[in-house]
Structure 1
Amino acid sequence: MTDHSVNMINRKSIDLSGVNNVVNFDDEEIILDTMMGCLEIGGEELHITMLNLDNGKVSIHGNISHLAYKAQGADFKARGKTILNRLFK
């Protein structure tokens, strides 16, 4: 697998490498498991336009407002449950 890299253009498009898995996604938040820890990408109208986990590459388009890395082992799954809870209310 390649090194982890992030290439963002005008906060509208982001290309990433070194991605192991997509933990959770919706149109306001995408959480990725990367070689450097979990990465939370927040914004509006987010869409995964290319996903190739065999090569560790992901492309995302939308209105990107923030990127945040969480420590290795951070529990994003608990946050994902709150998203599911909102869907079933």
Structure 2
Amino acid sequence: MTYDDLTEVLATTFRVKRELMSPGTTFADIGLESLALAELSAIIGVRTARDVKLHPTMAISTATADSEPELVTEPRRNAPSSCP
């Protein structure tokens, strides 16, 4: 997932104002707490077929494709081929 993809999800699904987001902005800075981060992790997981763990103190850029190896717990087994 690219940074642009992630900010699009944050803007549309979580209604985060785009002007509040930058690569160094943390999830806590934009008001995402553990429940929202669990939902975001699931969205990322469906789109990338990987399980990720996000924390409020992580920067938005840490959830992008460039840093995915740091977040991946393991590839999903039997990942769905498409989202409903």
- State the TM-score, normalized to the length of structure 1: 0.28
The structure in which a higher percent of residues are helix is 2
**Structure with more relative contact order (C-alpha pairs < 8 Å, separation 6 or more):** 2
* Higher fraction of strand: 1
